[in-house]
Amino acid sequence: MNTTAVPSAPDTGDGFAPTHVVPPDGLPTWRAPDGAVPTEKLDPLLPVRLLDRRGDWGRVLCSNGWAAWVDARPLVPLPQGPPAAGAPLARTADARKLLTRIEETLGRYRRAMEDLASGRSDGETFRRDTRGLRVGAVVDGEAVWLYDADHDRWCYCDGTAMSTLAPHRPGAPPVPPERSGAPSAPDEATRVVPPPGAGPGPGES
Q: Is residue 119 part of a domain?
A: yes
The total number of structural domains in the chain stands at: 2
For residue 118, the enclosing domain spans 95-167
Same domain, 137 and 202: no
**How many whole angstroms separate alpha carbon 161 and alpha carbon 133?**
26
How would you class 146 by CB atoms within 10 Å of its CB: exposed for 0-12, middle for 13-18, buried for 19 or more? buried
Q: Is residue 37 part of a domain?
A: yes
CA 84 vs CA 24, 69, 89, 146, 160: distances in Å: 32, 32, 10, 18, 16
**How many whole angstroms separate alpha carbon 72 and alpha carbon 49?**
11
Same domain, 118 and 157: yes
Same domain, 28 and 68: yes
* Tens digits of pLDDT across the chain (205 residues): 222 233 344 444 457 888 888 988 899 999 999 989 999 999 988 999 999 999 899 999 999 999 999 999 888 888 766 665 455 555 556 788 899 999 999 999 999 999 999 999 999 999 999 988 888 888 878 888 888 888 777 888 888 778 776 544 433 333 333 444 566 655 444 343 433 333 333 333 3
The DSSP bridge partners found for residue 94 are none
pLDDT in tens, 113-155: 999 999 999 999 999 999 888 888 888 788 888 888 887 778 8
Q: Is residue 148 part of a domain?
A: yes
Q: Is residue 172 part of a domain?
A: no
Q: Is residue 85 part of a domain?
A: no
